[in-house]
């Protein structure tokens, strides 16, 4: 397992590369050009600027998250071909700086969705929270406005300029069903995967977060059967998944340990974090520790260890601790603590399996 850490770029993140390099076992950053609109080709000079900064800190940039997909691709509009061509050019450029994995998602209009970015916890920390009843009753416009007012930095997927397009986007998705989304994903994969293979870059889709339909919009990357279907849409070792335990774990029916075992050959990148799901369907993002939430983080690490996982791993969101003022979910402290928990489990499982092997040989 190779540990990496998400970094939003110079001037766009409260965490610095000098801090990241001091977290034990972190070898690279998970990055993107967050100021390039979805659908545009990424400019080489900006890519090289990130490379220079990462090189200086001794961190690699093999994992990109995300090269976002233009809505016209998800909608299957004729204009998609222009954006797909741009995507291919971006893949070729990223290969030049050593990128090996591109994470992306196929969620209509919204990326991850929460109702509170700084929900107060009993210990004084704050965390990302999803209140089911609120989502079911709120106007999406009001939610986007609230999110932007509460967030200190603009978050990917929630850019204020998107607000003006929201009405048009909702209209465009009228009548777009899950089956349309599957068809449009297949078209995208058939175009992109051969190019990714040529450049030895794995395309790793991120699950939908939360893994169910919101505001009547279709969502398809929601559980084990659907991931199986997605990987079979274009059957190639380059058509992969970013297995995110927190996103999938918001639905307690999802058995993530079983997914690790089934999809291991198609998981070049994993996000590991915990959530606590309540009986009414609300969920809160907790510390990474198994006992603090409802996701079996111990079992997940054990499964990766048993499978000899050699891909990239990052802690996902964290709580906001010790008065840290940061991008929601992306502070330094809780993610660094999360990494040490993941390493602790990994090292312990590895040691015990080594001892078992030695005992067999003795």
Which residues contact ligand DNO (rule: CB under 6 A)? 65-66, 103-105, 111-112, 206, 209, 244, 246-247, 271, 316
**C-beta closer to ligand DNO: residue 114 or 234:** 114
> Nearest-CA neighbor of 3 among 357, 350, 269?
269
**C-beta closer to Mn ion: residue 39 or 210:** 210
Answer for the pair 68, 188: CB distance below 8 angstroms, yes or no.
no
**C-beta closer to ligand DNO: residue 20 or 103:** 103
Q: Which residues contact 183 (CB under 8 A, 6 or more apart)?
A: 76
Q: How far is the CB of 15 from ligand DNO (least distance, A)?
A: 15
Q: How far is the CB of 221 from Mn ion (least distance, A)?
A: 11
| Number of residues that make up the chain | 362
Question: Which residues in this chain contact Mn ion in the complex, by CB under 5 A?
Answer: 244, 271, 316
Cα distances (angstroms) measured from residue 232 to each of 26, 69, 105, 263: 33, 20, 17, 11
The partner in contact with residue 339, picked from ligand DNO, Mn ion, none with C-beta cut-offs of 5 to 8 angstroms by kind, is none
The partner in contact with residue 222, picked from Mn ion, ligand DNO, none with C-beta cut-offs of 5 to 8 angstroms by kind, is none
The partner in contact with residue 114, picked from ligand DNO, Mn ion, none with C-beta cut-offs of 5 to 8 angstroms by kind, is none
The two tokens of residue 137 are 């009753």
Q: How far apart are CA 40 and CA 70, in angstroms?
A: 9
Q: Which residues contact 279 (CB under 8 A, 6 or more apart)?
A: none
Residues serving a catalytic function are 206, 244, 271, 316-317, 330
**C-beta closer to ligand DNO: residue 311 or 354:** 311
Answer for the pair 44, 94: CB distance below 8 angstroms, yes or no.
no
The two tokens of residue 213 are 């339909």
**C-beta closer to ligand DNO: residue 205 or 321:** 205
Q: How far is the CB of 314 from Mn ion (least distance, A)?
A: 8
The partner in contact with residue 130, picked from Mn ion, ligand DNO, none with C-beta cut-offs of 5 to 8 angstroms by kind, is none
> Nearest-CA neighbor of 273 among 254, 245, 241, 300?
245
> Nearest-CA neighbor of 207 among 223, 185, 194, 192?
223
Q: How far is the CB of 32 from ligand DNO (least distance, A)?
A: 9
Q: How far is the CB of 285 from ligand DNO (least distance, A)?
A: 9
């Amino acid at each position: 397992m190779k540990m990496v850490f998400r970094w939003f770029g110079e001037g766009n993140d409260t965490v610095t590369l000098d801090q990241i390099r001091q977290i034990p076992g972190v070898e690279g950053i998970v990055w993107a050009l967050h100021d390039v609109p979805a659908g545009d080709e990424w400019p080489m000079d900006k890519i090289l600027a990130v490379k220079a900064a990462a090189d200086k800190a001794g961190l690699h940039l093999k994992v990109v998250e995300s090269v976002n997909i233009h809505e016209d691709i998800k909608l299957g509009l004729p204009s998609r071909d222009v954006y797909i061509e741009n995507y291919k050019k971006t893949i070729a450029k990223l290969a030049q700086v050593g990128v090996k994995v591109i994470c992306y998602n196929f969620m209509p209009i919204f990326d991850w969705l929460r109702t509170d970015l700084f929900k107060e916890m009993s210990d004084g920390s704050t965390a990302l929270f999803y209140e089911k009843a609120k989502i079911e009753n709120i106007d999406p416009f009001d939610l986007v406005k609230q999110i932007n007012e509460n967030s200190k930095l603009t978050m990917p997927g929630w850019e204020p300029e998107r607000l003006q397009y929201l009405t048009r986007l909702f209209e465009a998705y009228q009548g777009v069903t899950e089956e349309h989304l599957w068809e449009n994903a297949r078209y995208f994969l058939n175009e992109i995967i051969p190019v990714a293979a040529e450049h030895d870059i794995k395309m790793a889709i991120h699950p939908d977060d939360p893994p169910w339909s919101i505001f009547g919009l279709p969502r398809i990357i929601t559980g084990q059967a659907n991931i199986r279907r997605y990987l079979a849409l274009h059957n190639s070792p380059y058509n992969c998944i970013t297995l995110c335990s927190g996103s999938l774990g918001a639905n307690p029916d999802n058995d993530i340990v079983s997914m690790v075992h089934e999809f291991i050959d198609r998981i070049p990148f994993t996000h590991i974090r915990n959530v606590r799901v309540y009986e009414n369907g609300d969920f809160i993002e907790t510390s990474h520790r198994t006992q603090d939430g409802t996701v079996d983080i111990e079992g997940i690490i054990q499964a990766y260890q048993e499978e000899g996982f050699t891909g990239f791993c990052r802690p996902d969101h964290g709580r906001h601790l010790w008065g840290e003022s940061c991008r929601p979910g992306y502070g330094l402290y809780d993610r660094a603590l999360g990494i040490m928990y993941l390493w602790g489990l990994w090292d312990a499982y590895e040691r015990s399996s080594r001892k078992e092997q030695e005992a067999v040989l003795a």
